[in-house]
Amino acid sequence: MSRFGWMLKAAAPHVRSFVLVLGLGCAMAGSHAKAQSNAHQHFGKVHFPIACNDGVQEQFDLALAMLHTFSFPDAAQAFTAVAQKDPDCAMAYWGIAATAIGSLYGGRSGPMALQGEQAVEKAKAIGGKNARERDYVATVEVFYKGAETLDYAARVRAYASALERLHRKYPEDREAEIFYAYALSALGAPTDQTFTYQLRGAALLEKLYADLPDHPGVIHYLLHAYDNTPYASRGLTGLSAIKSPGTSPNPRTDVSKSTNTFPRIDFASCSVNIRAAWLKFGSPSPPNEAATSRPVSRTSSTSTIERLSC
């Protein structure tokens, strides 16, 4: 089994990255496959079928996993590499546009907003290979429409509504549902103490988690959905319960029954709620970066995710 660990750290270029070995020719094919496999082990399991060249599917999946973990520079680089390998892959540019949004929890546009708008136009010019791909492009375009006149919150609401329509149109598409749950959980205003949107998003994510326990987006967005004082313990308990053999997938599971450990947690960039939940449910004290930079062994795990950003 893979070693299980979590890194909750601000997405930034200096964060430890996993090098993607691209286009090195037949002589380096084995090294390339090994590098891709190692990277997947750290970012979790994602599969999003696209109608592009078969040779870019695995790298596209890896780029999407990086996006879900908020490893935005890595994701942008990986999606760009897909576009270089297959210039007619509209979904590569969709990925660049989705990455350029940054975190919907941040309350403001990310630093790559201009590149996102350009990527949308490129994706539209190429055209998706099927209706689903065209709908994904049209959905991400909604976020960028009216950027000069609409405030950020209005754009997020419009994007969430577009993602809901995408999910309703393709109910079997797990990625559409995950992105919708993510956007839904990001709609809650700081003054709304009912946490209506966060709980609605969490309800979708908990159901998804039962089938996708190694999906980085499901786990990551579930943590954020419960990132508030009344429900913080649910989110961190969910992390602690992911996923030892025989452990309930319910985020309310008692973590004392889990054999998981957290090799590389850095809580410096995480919220007070998450830190408090860790104090109560996860460890006698929140570990610091120096203490958690060393791998810690564990008994067993089916999870493969080692990298997330708060």
CB atoms within 10 A of CB 1: 12
Element of type H or E holding 291:
helix 289-292
pLDDT at site 190: 79
CB atoms within 10 A of CB 123: 27
For range 175-187, the mean pLDDT: 97
Q: In this structure, what are the phi and psi dihedrals at residue 259, rounded to the nearest 5 degrees? A: -100, 5
**β-sheet bridge partners, residue 305:** 43
pLDDT at 290 over 50: no
The answer to whether residues 31 and 269 touch, using CB atoms and an 8 Å cutoff, is no
For range 256-267, the mean pLDDT: 30
Those residues with Cβ within 8 angstroms of residue 39's Cβ, 6 or more apart along the chain or in another chain: 18, 20, 62
Which of 196 and 230 is assigned the larger pLDDT?
196
Q: What is the pLDDT of residues 7-62, one digit of tens each?
A: 333 333 322 222 222 222 322 233 344 444 444 557 889 999 999 999 999 999 99
Which of 108 and 217 is assigned the larger pLDDT?
217
Those residues with Cβ within 8 angstroms of residue 263's Cβ, 6 or more apart along the chain or in another chain: 3, 4, 5, 6, 292, 294, 295, 296, 306
Element of type H or E holding 169:
helix 152-169
Alpha-carbon gap, residue 83 to 91, rounded angstroms? 8
Which of 216 and 256 is assigned the larger pLDDT?
216
pLDDT at 253 over 80: no
Let me know the angle formed at the C-alpha of 113 by 58 and 134, rounded to the nearest 5 degrees: 50
